[in-house]
Amino acid sequence: MTRPTPAVLVLEDGRAFHGTSYGAEGETFGEMVFATGMTGYQETLTDPSYHGQIVAMTAPHIGNTGVNDEDPESSRIWVAGYVVREPARVASNWRSRRSLDEELRRQGVVGIAMPGTRALTRHLRERGAMRAGVFTGPAAPVEELAERVRTSPAMVGADLAKQVSTAEPYVVPAHGVKRFTVAAIDLGIKAMTPYRMAERGCEVHVLPATATAADVLALDPDGVFLSNGPGDPAAADYAVETLTGVLEARRPVFGICFGNQILGRALGLGTYKLRYGHRGVNQPVQDRRTGKVDISAHNHGFAVQAPLDGPFDTPYGRGEVSHVNLNDGCVEGLRLLDYPAFSVQYHPEAAAGPHDAAGLFDEFCALMAGGATGTKGEERGNG
Ligand SMILES: NC(=O)CC[C@H](N)C(=O)O
């Protein structure tokens, strides 16, 4: 039997974890984060929001159901590196086409299987997300590797949305009768998001991250959607500028995750880096208006800073924090009170699940139907 190739994960603070190579061999650098979903590793790997991050799975056994051709959220794996405790030796599922190990190799994704995923998670929880590197094969001294990690790019200030966005616009047709035209700005969009809108009769025009407000408005959309995406929202001024143009044209707006942060910025709010972020499928989020709690899918390392004690002024009338996270109290949603726009920091498209928040897509459709708010009609009436 051939011996497995050794691998080491080195954090920027010098802590190292030893294991064996999983997936492609080589070396990789990125921000070290952990994801707590027990299911949905394919959706995690292919979520463009993970671009630039090395993801450790806290679920101890990964790869059990192999890799299928239906669940990817984009055309490729985006994680910079992958860390698991114990890879499944057998992939078994009726949809499985190949093993996860094979898929990681096929796509050149460097990973490590190591016993210390729990210690790693506790370390990140105490010290916060930090840069890391995975190195396979005969290892150089850890201090030397840590020094290389410390010279790799940091997540704060990173403008990554443009790197994952579609180069060309494309259209996802409405299922059945078309009710709305949606312009969706792809900052790192997941496949399930336009699908959820198409299911509700939206014809979704997906536009590159650098689309201008003029590009968006040229479609005469009933509503504008801002997607999730990787990187620091403070570095995406172009998206804020586009959204500002859209808000000035008074079109209904819905944003998810990065989109929530961009809406926050367009309203004049700041964003900040969370200590270690939320990545998983069981985060409790409370709707402050109804008190209802949704269990929801998350993947964010930044959050919006907004007043929690009541409505605040924005250039478009009053705004409020619509949702908060019950684990750490951070802002999970924004809503304008005098304008049809809202956003959430989490993932109602539920890929992977849960589906508690799916109704938010219906809320967007209700805003676009616009009877009550009538903003598009108003604008047209005035023009
Ligand atoms: N999934 C996302 O859209 C993530 C948004 C942003 N990159 C963050 O980490 O907070």
Could you tell me the distance, in angstroms and rounded to a whole number, from the CA of residue 200 to the centre of ligand 1? 25
- 137 and 235 housed in the same domain: no
Per-residue pLDDT of the chain (383 residues; tens, 9 = 90+): 578 999 999 999 999 999 999 999 999 999 999 999 999 999 999 999 999 999 999 999 999 999 999 999 999 999 999 999 999 999 999 999 999 999 999 999 999 999 999 999 999 999 999 999 999 999 899 999 999 999 999 999 999 999 999 999 999 999 999 999 999 999 999 999 999 999 999 999 999 999 999 999 999 999 999 999 999 999 999 999 999 999 999 999 999 999 999 999 999 999 999 999 999 999 999 999 999 999 999 999 999 999 999 999 999 999 999 999 999 999 999 999 999 999 999 999 999 989 999 999 999 999 999 844 334 434 433 32
Last residue of a domain, one of 150, 179, 210: 150
Annotated binding residue 231: yes
Domain of 76? 6-150
CB 349, CB 193: distance < 8 Å: yes
Which residue's CA is minimally distant from atom 5 of ligand 1?
Answer: 258
58 lines ligand 1 (CB under 6 A): no
- Strand residues in 26-77 grouped as ranges (E): 27-35, 53-57, 61-62
Q: How many domains does the chain have?
A: 2
Could you tell me the distance, in angstroms and rounded to a whole number, from the CA of residue 278 to the centre of ligand 1? 10
- 102 and 187 housed in the same domain: no
Q: Which long-range contacts (CB under 8 A, 24 or more apart) does 191-197 make?
A: 191/72, 191/73, 191/74, 191/351, 192/73, 192/349, 192/350, 192/351, 193/225, 193/227, 193/228, 193/256, 193/349, 195/349, 196/348, 196/349, 196/358, 196/361, 197/172, 197/225, 197/361, 197/364
CB 311, CB 228: distance < 8 Å: no
CB 175, CB 137: distance < 8 Å: no
- 216 and 266 housed in the same domain: yes
* pTM of structure: 0.95
Domain membership flag for residue 1: no
ipTM greater than 0.90: yes
Q: Encode 56-65: b = buried (16+ Cβ within 10 Å), e = exposed.
A: bbbbeebbbb
- 14 and 131 housed in the same domain: yes
The SS3 call for residue 160 is: coil
Residue 2 neighbours by CB under 8 Å, 6+ apart: none
- 370 and 254 housed in the same domain: yes
Q: Which of 202, 257, 330, 365 is catalytic?
A: 257
Domain membership flag for residue 227: yes
- 136 and 170 housed in the same domain: no
CB 104, CB 81: distance < 8 Å: no
Q: Is 355 a catalytic residue?
A: no
255 lines ligand 1 (CB under 6 A): no
- 134 and 174 housed in the same domain: no
Cα–Cα distance measured from residue 232 to residue 159, given in angstroms and rounded to the nearest whole number:
6
